[in-house]
Amino acid sequence: MQNISSELYHVTKRDIKKVIETLARAFSEDHLMCYFAPDPERRLRFLPRYFNYRIRNTLIDGNIYATSEDIEGVVFLTQTEYKSTYSLPRAMRTGGLGLYRVAGSENVRKMREVERFVSDKRDECISEQYLYLGSLAVHPDYQGKGLASKLIRPILEACHSHNRLCVLDAEDESLVQMYEHFGFEVVDSYILPDANIQHWIMAKRP
C-alpha cells in the first residue's frame, strides 16, 4: 500500500528505540499491560522488552507507520494472509529471549494465551481477509493534537482504494467511541478470561 507510506513516515529498524519510547509511554497504564505486569516498577522494565518484541515481529509480517521521523505517534498494520505462527527460532531472533528474562515464564504463557484467544475471537466473527490496525499510540507529550487522526485517515483511505476491510481491537470504551467517529462499527465484544478486561472487535468496510 504505497499510498500510505506517501502520507506517513514508514518505520524501519533504525527507528525501533523511538517507537519503543512512544509505545511504552502511551501504554504505561494500559489495562492489558497492567495485567501482564501489575507492579509499576516491574512494568517499566517489561514494556520496552515487550514492545521491542512486538515491533520486530510486525516489521517482518507487516508495516509500522508514524506521524514523522520523530515518532510522535505510531500505528501497526498487518494483513490477514500474513498472520505469523510462533516458533522458537523466530522468537529468539526478534527479542523473545530478552522478553522472557524480564517477564518470566508464567507471564510469557499468559501473553501467548491472550494473543491466541483474541486472534481466535476475530476469526470467529470475521471470515474475509482484512487489514489489521494494531497498537495505535500517541506519545503523551503530543496527545490532543490530532495525531491519531493523522495516522488513521491515510490507512482508511488505502483500505477504501484497495477494497479491504479494516479491523482493530479496543480495550477501552473511550477508544470505541473514538473509532466510531472514524466509521468503525463494533462487530463483537467479550470479557478476556482471567484478565477480566472488556474487549471490542471493530471493523470498517471500504
- What DSSP string describes 100-142? HHHH-HHHHHHHHHHHHHHHHHHHHH--S-EEEEEEEEE-GGG
Provide the domain count of the chain: 1
Of the two residues 91 and 43, the one the predictor is more confident about is 43
Q: What is residue 2's predicted lDDT score, i.e. its pLDDT? A: 45
150-193 pLDDT, tens digit per residue, is 999 999 998 998 899 999 999 999 999 999 999 999 999 999 99
Q: Treating both helix axes as pointing N-terminal to C-terminal, what angle do 40-61 and 16-26 enclose, rounded to 10 degrees?
A: 130
Q: Is the pLDDT of residue 5 over 50?
A: yes
Domain span at 114: 2-204
Q: What is residue 81's predicted lDDT score, i.e. its pLDDT? A: 56
Residue 149 CB coordination number (10 Å): 13
Supply the CATH number for residue 174's domain. Answer: 3.40.630.30
100-143 pLDDT, tens digit per residue, is 899 998 888 999 999 999 999 999 999 999 999 988 999 999 99
C-alpha span between 114 and 11 (Å, rounded) = 26
